[in-house]
Amino acid sequence: MAKKTVATLQKGEKHTTKCIKMVKSPKNGAYTFKEEMVPNAQLNDFFKK
């Protein structure tokens, strides 16, 4: 029987999602990745920034 390797990040009523956004650097034009744990209620605000 296989072991379950899924980590739960949902504790109580605070459900979060790991968001990854590509951001272009103003210095050299290269793209970097911004990672954050965001509550589900604030997902749209994270991607609008």
Q: Torsion over CA of 6, 9, 41 and 26, rounded to 10 degrees? A: -90
Average pLDDT over residues 15-40: 90
Q: Is the pLDDT of residue 1 over 70?
A: no
Average pLDDT over residues 37-41: 88
Strand partners, 24: 31
User: What pLDDT is stored for residue 32 in this prediction?
Assistant: 92
The three-state secondary structure class of 43 is helix
